[in-house]
Amino acid sequence: MKAIMDVVVAPTHGGGTCIRKIFEVPFAPFKGMDISCGAWKSERKVISVTLCLDDGDPYIHIGMGIDEVKTDDEMDKRLAVYKMHGWKEPTLND
């Protein structure tokens, strides 16, 4: 099944950018599950899981919470690391 995983990269002063990875999963993830990704220094816990059935293309949404950074410059660098690992900023088609 298609899975859409979101993280918000946000500086401590507010604001932030959502970054997304879309992939296929052979099983349903669950809240509290550890997920590893090369964009992270260590595993992160799943914050929320939602099965979305509203349209003709069902999917699982995986919320990974906030990846907090100190400055806008750090946010830009962190977003670049995510993008190197296949994450993208969401579009209206996602």
pTM of the model: 0.89
Q: What is the pLDDT of residues 30-44, one digit of tens each?
A: 999 999 999 999 999
Mean pLDDT along residues 58-77: 95
Kindly state whether residue 17 falls inside one of the protein's structural domains.
Answer: yes
* 7 and 79 Cβ atoms separated by less than 8 Å: no
Number of domains, the chain? 1
Mean pLDDT along residues 16-32: 94
Kindly state whether residue 75 falls inside one of the protein's structural domains.
Answer: yes
* pLDDT reported for residue 26: 93
Mean pLDDT along residues 58-66: 95
In terms of residue numbers, what domain contains 60?
Answer: 2-84
Q: What is the pLDDT of residues 4-13, one digit of tens each?
A: 999 999 999 9
Asked whether the predicted pLDDT for residue 94 surpasses 70, the reply is no
Burial of 19 (0-12, 13-18, 19+ CB in 10 A): buried
Kindly state whether residue 6 falls inside one of the protein's structural domains.
Answer: yes
